[in-house]
Amino acid sequence: MKVSKSVYCRIGGDGESNNGFIVCDECCIVVDTTTYPDQTKKDLEDIKKVTDKKIKFLINTHYHGDHTFGNMYFSDIIAHKDCYRKLKERTPHYMELVKEDDEKERFEGFTVRLPTIVFDHELSLFLNPQIVITHYGGHTNGSAIVYIPEERVLFSGDLLFAGYHPYVGDADIQEWVNALHGLLQLDVKKIIPGHGDICDAREIKTQIEYLETFYNNLKELKKKYSKEEICKNTNLLGLPEMDEEEMVVASIEGQYDKI
């Protein structure tokens, strides 16, 4: 799907992760992969239908497998240093995890490939158009966004779930809310979220409200209910009805002892 003059994306659908690419004057930059390596191979073929420019870099917005399991098809991978650290730490777990997947045949030949270029706060690629990669944290310690200022387009990674319950399990919720307030300061027309349909800044405000509701209500519920009780009655949190309801349980399990 064409998003702007230089930016294209693939919307995963049914809550699956999104990814995309940016066609620059002399090269192509890919943003995130998907859960299944065979889908990444298809994505690479689709890129060739749009441009014959060589892929120079893959950018990982964070370490989760639904954004990195196609890394094996790329040579040069950019990510925040904490994304590198966490993906390296989780490699043994991920290698076992794919063996248990219901569609494990889609992982034939799979291996975890780590980022090859890491940054601390921000990294700019002075291409045409310019691409700015900025660390915000929140969803994970190493979460980053990819911003194309000239075209007012933002790849938010999983800092934004549009129309779906976000996964909050290993997040720093306060840092995440601060990150979203930071995104509101950017001049953005179109946002490619980590999950869900293309949106605009209104979705950022919706995500802030969601996270604040989750945090504040879980903090209060914890005084009266066990983790198991809240997981069985997620409606107690007062969250809006969205797809991917199972994410709420995973988020409660990850956050209950932190809040």
Is 242 a residue whose pLDDT tops 90? Answer: no
**Strand 131-135 relative to strand 144-148: parallel, antiparallel, unpaired?**
antiparallel
pLDDT band at 244 (very low <50, low <70, confident <90, very high): confident
Is 245 a residue whose pLDDT tops 90? Answer: no
Q: For the beta carbon of residue 238, count every other beta carbon within 10 angstroms.
A: 11
pLDDT digits (tens, 9 = 90+) for 60-88: 999 999 999 999 999 999 999 999 999 99
Would you state the structure tokens that stand for residue 111, as one six-digit string? 């291996």
Which helix H or strand E contains 19, and what residues bound it? strand 19-23
What are the backbone angles phi and psi of residue 192, rounded to the nearest 5°?
Answer: -100, 105
Residue 106 CA to its chain's centroid (Å): 21
Domain regions of the chain by residue span: 7-214
**pLDDT (0 to 100) of residue 246:** 86
Nearest to 10 by CA among 199, 242, 207, 194: 194
**What's domain 7-214's architecture?**
4-Layer Sandwich (3.60)
pLDDT digits (tens, 9 = 90+) for 5-59: 999 999 998 889 999 999 999 999 999 999 999 999 999 999 999 999 999 999 9
pLDDT digits (tens, 9 = 90+) for 149-171: 999 999 999 999 999 999 999 99
Per DSSP, what are the bridge partners of residue 199? 191
Is 176 a residue whose pLDDT tops 90? Answer: yes
pLDDT digits (tens, 9 = 90+) for 122-141: 999 999 999 999 999 999 99
Question: Rounded distance, CA 14 to CA 185, Å?
Answer: 30
What order do you get walking across the sheet with 28-31 strand by strand? Answer: 7-10, 19-23, 28-31, 55-59, 77-80, 117-119
pLDDT digits (tens, 9 = 90+) for 197-229: 999 999 999 999 999 999 999 999 999 999 999
Q: For the beta carbon of residue 87, count every other beta carbon within 10 angstroms.
A: 24
Give residue for tokens 């720093």.
172
